[in-house]
Amino acid sequence: MKSFLSLLAFAPAAFAAFGVETSGSSMVVDSGDALVFTVSTKSGDITSIKYSGTELQDKSKFTQLSSGLGSADVTSTVDSGVAVVTISTNIITHYYIVREGENTIYIGTNASEEPEVGELRFIARLNKDAVPNGIPESEVDGGSVVEGSDVFEIDGETRSKFYSSVRHIEDNVHGVTGDGVGVYMVIPATSYEKSSGGPFHRDINNQGTAQQELYWYMNSNHEQTEAYRTGFFGPYAMAVTSGDAPSADLDMSFIEDLGLDGYVASSDRGSVSGTYSGTLDGLDVTIGFSNSDAQYWASASGGKFTRDAMLPGTYNVTLFQGELEAGTGSVTISAGGSASVDLESSLEIPETVWSIGTVDGTPAGFLNADKIEKMHPSDSRMGAWGPVTFTIGTDDESAFPMAQFQAVNDPTTISWSAGSGDIGERTLRIRTTSSFASGRPKITVNKWSSDTPAAPAKIDSRGVTRGTWRGNNQVYDYVIPDGTLVAGDNTIEISVVSGSSGETFLSPNVVYDSLELI
Task: Using CB under 6 A, count the residues that bind ligand NAG.
Answer: 12
Strand order in the sheet with 206-208: 64-65, 120-126, 212-219, 206-208
Closer CB to ligand NAG, 93 or 220, in the complex: 93
Report the greatest alpha carbon distance in the chain: 104
Whole-number minimum distance, CB 412 to ligand NAG, in Å?
31
Q: Name which of residues 232 to 271 contact ligand NAG (CB under 6 A).
A: 261-262
The three-class DSSP label of residue 246 is: coil
Does 226 bind ligand NAG (CB under 6 A)? Our answer is: no
Closer CB to ligand NAG, 37 or 232, in the complex: 232
Closer CB to ligand NAG, 315 or 320, in the complex: 315
Q: Name which of residues 107 to 136 contact ligand NAG (CB under 6 A).
A: 110, 112
Does 316 bind ligand NAG (CB under 6 A)? Our answer is: yes
One-letter amino acid identity for 176?
V
Of the candidates 68, 231, 383, 387, which one interacts with ligand NAG according to CB under 6 A? 231
Q: CB of 445 within 8 A of CB of 485?
A: yes
Whole-number minimum distance, CB 34 to ligand NAG, in Å?
32
Whole-number minimum distance, CB 285 to ligand NAG, in Å?
20
Does 314 bind ligand NAG (CB under 6 A)? Our answer is: yes
β-pairing verdict for 157-160 and 181-186: unpaired
The candidate with the shortest Cα–Cα distance to 254, out of 84, 86, 88, is 84
Of the candidates 93, 205, 404, 468, which one interacts with ligand NAG according to CB under 6 A? 93
Q: What share of the chain is helix, strand, coil (3-state, %, to 5)?
A: 10, 45, 45
Does 221 bind ligand NAG (CB under 6 A)? Our answer is: no
d(CA 458, CA 449) in angstroms, rounded, equals: 25
Whole-number minimum distance, CB 97 to ligand NAG, in Å?
16
Does 473 bind ligand NAG (CB under 6 A)? Our answer is: no
Whole-number minimum distance, CB 229 to ligand NAG, in Å?
9
Whole-number minimum distance, CB 295 to ligand NAG, in Å?
10
Cα–Cα distance list, 343 to 143, 160, 331 (Å): 49, 39, 11
Whole-number minimum distance, CB 455 to ligand NAG, in Å?
18
Cα–Cα distance list, 420 to 188, 356, 377, 444 (Å): 57, 21, 40, 20
Closer CB to ligand NAG, 93 or 177, in the complex: 93
Among the residue ranges 49-57, 100-108, 170-178, 314-322, the one whose residues contact ligand NAG (CB under 6 A): 314-322
- DSSP assignment of 462-484: --GGGT---S--EEEEEEEPTTS
Of all residues in the shown chain, the one whose CB is closest to ligand NAG is 262
Omega before residue 453 within 30° of 0, cis: no
Q: CB of 18 within 8 A of CB of 81?
A: yes
Cα-based torsion angle of the residue sequence 128, 133, 136, 141 in order, rounded to the nearest 10 degrees? 10
Among the residue ranges 58-66, 248-256, 310-318, 447-455, the one whose residues contact ligand NAG (CB under 6 A): 310-318
d(CA 18, CA 203) in angstroms, rounded, equals: 35
Whole-number minimum distance, CB 89 to ligand NAG, in Å?
9
Does 230 bind ligand NAG (CB under 6 A)? Our answer is: yes
Phi/psi for 150 (5° steps) reads -140, 0
Whole-number minimum distance, CB 260 to ligand NAG, in Å?
9
Closer CB to ligand NAG, 256 or 261, in the complex: 261
d(CA 338, CA 308) in angstroms, rounded, equals: 8
Among the residue ranges 49-57, 70-78, 101-109, 309-317, the one whose residues contact ligand NAG (CB under 6 A): 309-317
Closer CB to ligand NAG, 337 or 488, in the complex: 337
Question: Which residues of the shown chain bind ligand NAG in the complex (CB under 6 A)?
Answer: 93, 110, 112, 230-231, 261-262, 291-292, 314-316
